[in-house]
């Protein structure tokens, strides 16, 4: 399945457009369109990663979540130790 595209118009500061044209003329991008699309994709990915990081920070500061993690570590600790011992004895 091909990516669908939509034609749109954007207004950019002259300096941004000139910098984009330099990138294209240097062969670092095929076209203005490709460069702008890649820049938008990069920014969207960065925003998504920032949301994930914020959620992880929130989890790290949540006492209920921390209690659950400690409980799971305690419950799996014995199994992890047994697995390690079995792995070492079979070597």
User: Which three-class secondary structure string do you get for 7-60?
Assistant: CCCCCCCHHHHHHHHHHHHCCCCCCHHHHHHHHHHHHHHHHHHHHHHHHHHHHH
Mean pLDDT to the nearest integer, 59-64: 89
Domains of the chain, by residue range, sit at 12-60, 62-91
Residue 36's CB is within 10 A of a number of other CB atoms, namely 17
pTM over the 0.75 mark: no
For residue 16, name the pLDDT band (cuts at 50, 70, 90): very high
Q: What is the pLDDT of residue 77?
A: 75
């Amino acid at each position: 399945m091909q990516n669908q595209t939509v034609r749109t118009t954007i207004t950019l500061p002259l300096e941004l457009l000139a910098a984009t044209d330099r990138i294209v003329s240097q062969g670092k991008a095929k076209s203005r369109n490709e460069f702008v699309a890649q820049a938008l994709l990069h920014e969207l990915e960065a925003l998504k990663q920032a949301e994930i990081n914020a959620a992880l920070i929130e989890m790290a500061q949540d006492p209920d979540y921390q209690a659950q993690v400690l409980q799971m570590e305690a419950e799996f600790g014995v199994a992890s130790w047994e697995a390690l011992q079995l792995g070492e004895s079979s070597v």
